[in-house]
Structure 1
Amino acid sequence: MTKTINDVYMQLYKRFKEADEPQPSLAARELTAYACKADKAHTAEWGHVYLDDATVDFAHLLCDRCLDGEPLAYILGEWDFCGLTFQVDRSVLIPRADTERLCELVVERARQKVSPRILDLCCGSGCIGIAAAHMVEDARVAAVDNSDGALRISRENARRLGVQRRYLALKADVRFRPPNGMGQFDIIVSNPPYVTRAEMHGLDKSVYQYEPHEALFGGEDGLDFYRSICAKWSSLLAPDGVMLFECGYRQATQVAAIMEENRFAGIGIAEDLSGVQRIVYGYNANLEPDAV
């Protein structure tokens, strides 16, 4: 029997629902649109478009992969963050809603400056720095990662989102001192690897088997990158500059203590959009600032 796009959507929705997928409607809609080359913004038309058997089979094959644990974002090759669509592959972590409040704080601070300079450390897909450059038209962003794959993806995302002239991606390892000649930045932001050794073994299959471990593992206690960045990269912070971190849901006070040990001023903790204390910030000790 010939099936419409909507028929396929309902079939995938039922499969996801029976498998206890947290967001069965979202997963079914995204996979259906991708497999059927359909516009997910015009689902009302899906009931009138008929498909060949190969397309139907392809949609179910993609569903099989998703139900087997492969992240939907990697199947689609893209994911949304702060209202923008970012290209992703298995060389970068999938952008998550947990990080959107961190990006909002970066944007709020950047808008207080003229031609602000932003440094995004452990940039991955580039979602934080690129979203900030997209929302603050005079911002200039330098992005750092130690992964060639991540740098490739971040540069492509900057190009696709039209900010490539104000976005520079550099290869460097934040566990060592920064390259010479980088200058100073009004904002340094980082969502570094912060999963502990014990937590690595308890990660969901879709994370542990598919997302890059080097972008997840933060050392025995998950805090190695915070120590290095605070000790070795804070010299790049402008006199009234702010450094902001994302951290694990139980790490905020520990990250704040690391910033205190490294003589940051005005240290504070903020919640993400789900009310979790996931953001830690501090200012250059040379100038006592207003809070974020």
Structure 2
Amino acid sequence: MTKTINDVYMQLYHRFKEADDPQPSLSARELTACACRVDKDRTAEWGHIYLDDATVDYAHLLCDRCLDGEPLAYILGEWDFYGLTFRVDRSVLIPRADTERLCELVIERARQKVSPRILDLCCGSGCIGIAAAHTVGDARVAAIDNSEGALRITRENARRLGVQNRLVAVYANVLEAPPNSMGQFDIMVSNPPYVTRTEMHELDRSVYSYEPHEALYGGADGLDFYRAICQRWSGLLVPGGVLLFECGWQQATQVAAIMDEHGFSGIGITEDLAGVPRIVFGYWSSAS
């Protein structure tokens, strides 16, 4: 029997619902649109478009992969963050809503400057720096990662979102000293690897089996990158420049102590959009 796009959507919806997917409607809609190569926002038309059997089978194959634990974002090859759609693959972490508040804070501070320079450390997909450049028209961003795959994705996202002329993606290891001639920055932001050794073994299978471990593991106590950034990279901030971190839900006090130890002032902790104390910020002193 010939099926419409809406028929396939309903089939996938019921499969996700029976599997206790937390968002069966979203998962079914995204996969249906992907498999059928249609606009996910024009669902009113889906009841009038008929599909061949191969497309129906392909939609169910994608659903099989998702139900087997593969993240939806990697199947789709893209994910939404801060109102923008970012290309993703298994070389980068999937952008998460937890990080949107950090992005907001970066943008708020960038808007207070003229032609602000932003340094995005451990950039991954580039979502933070690119969202800031997209929102603040005179911002310039340097995005740093030690993964060539991540830098490739960052450059692609910058092109797709039209900020490639104001963003440079640079290969560097954040645990080491910065490259020469980086210049100075008004804002430094990082959502670094912060999963502890113990937590790595407790991660959900969809994370542990698919997302890049080098973008997750932050050392035995999860704080290696915070120490390295404060010790080795803070000198790239202009006097009074701000450093903003995302951290694990139990790490904020420890990260604030590391910043204090390395000469930051005005240190604060704020919550993400879910009310979790996940963001730590502080200001670099000219006397440091």
Fold shared per TM-score above 0.5: yes
Where does 1:81-160 land on structure 2 (aligned, <5 Å)?
81-160=81-160
Alpha-carbon separation, structure 1, partners of 2:61 and 2:181: 50
Q: Residue type of the partner of 1:276?
A: V
1:197-222 CA deviation, whole Å, 9 max, x = no partner? 00001101110000000000000000
Alpha-carbon separation, structure 2, partners of 1:41 and 1:90: 26
Alpha-carbon separation, structure 2, partners of 1:240 and 1:267: 12
Runs of 4+ in 1 over 2 A off after TM superposition: none
Which residue of structure 1 lines up, in the alignment, with residue 229 of structure 2? 229
Q: Residue type of the partner of 2:107?
A: V
Q: Does residue 163 of the first structure (1) align with residue 163 of the second (2)?
A: yes
Which residue of structure 2 lines up, in the alignment, with residue 279 of structure 1? 279
RMSD: 1.0
Secondary structure of 1:155 counterpart? helix
Cα distance, 1:285 vs structure 2: 2.1
Cα distance, 1:286 vs structure 2: 2.8
Q: Give the TM-score of the pair, scaled to structure 2.
A: 0.99
Secondary structure of 1:186 counterpart? strand
Which residue of structure 2 lines up, in the alignment, with residue 9 of structure 1? 9
Cα distance, 1:39 vs structure 2: 1.2
Cα distance, 1:263 vs structure 2: 1.2
Q: Does residue 44 of the first structure (1) align with residue 29 of the second (2)?
A: no
Q: Residue type of the partner of 1:145?
A: D
Alpha-carbon separation, structure 2, partners of 1:16 and 1:276: 28
Cα distance, 1:175 vs structure 2: 0.4
Where does 1:203-214 land on structure 2 (aligned, <5 Å)?
203-214=203-214
1:37-87 CA deviation, whole Å, 9 max, x = no partner? 111111011011111111000000000000000000000000000000000
Which residue of structure 2 lines up, in the alignment, with residue 290 of structure 1? none
Where does 1:176-215 land on structure 2 (aligned, <5 Å)?
176-215=176-215
Q: Residue type of the partner of 1:166?
A: R
Contiguous gaps of at least 5 residues in structure 2: none
Cα distance, 1:109 vs structure 2: 0.1
Alpha-carbon separation, structure 1, partners of 2:186 and 2:71: 35
Secondary structure of 2:282 counterpart? strand
Size of the alignment, in residue pairs? 288
Alpha-carbon separation, structure 2, partners of 1:197 and 1:16: 32
Cα distance, 1:116 vs structure 2: 0.2
Contiguous gaps of at least 5 residues in structure 1: 288-292
Alpha-carbon separation, structure 1, partners of 2:260 and 2:20: 44
Q: Residue type of the partner of 2:109?
A: R
Secondary structure of 2:118 counterpart? strand
Alpha-carbon separation, structure 2, partners of 1:166 and 1:64: 40
1:69-117 CA deviation, whole Å, 9 max, x = no partner? 0000000000000000000000000000000000000000000000000
Which residue of structure 2 lines up, in the alignment, with residue 23 of structure 1? 23
1:243-262 CA deviation, whole Å, 9 max, x = no partner? 00000011000100100111
Secondary structure of 1:119 counterpart? strand
Which residue of structure 1 lines up, in the alignment, with residue 34 of structure 2? 34
Cα distance, 1:240 vs structure 2: 1.7
Identity %: 80
Secondary structure of 2:193 counterpart? coil
Alpha-carbon separation, structure 2, partners of 1:18 and 1:197: 34
Secondary structure of 1:233 counterpart? helix
Secondary structure of 1:243 counterpart? strand
Secondary structure of 2:151 counterpart? helix
1:171-220 CA deviation, whole Å, 9 max, x = no partner? 00010110111111000000000000000011011100000000000000
Which residue of structure 2 lines up, in the alignment, with residue 239 of structure 1? 239
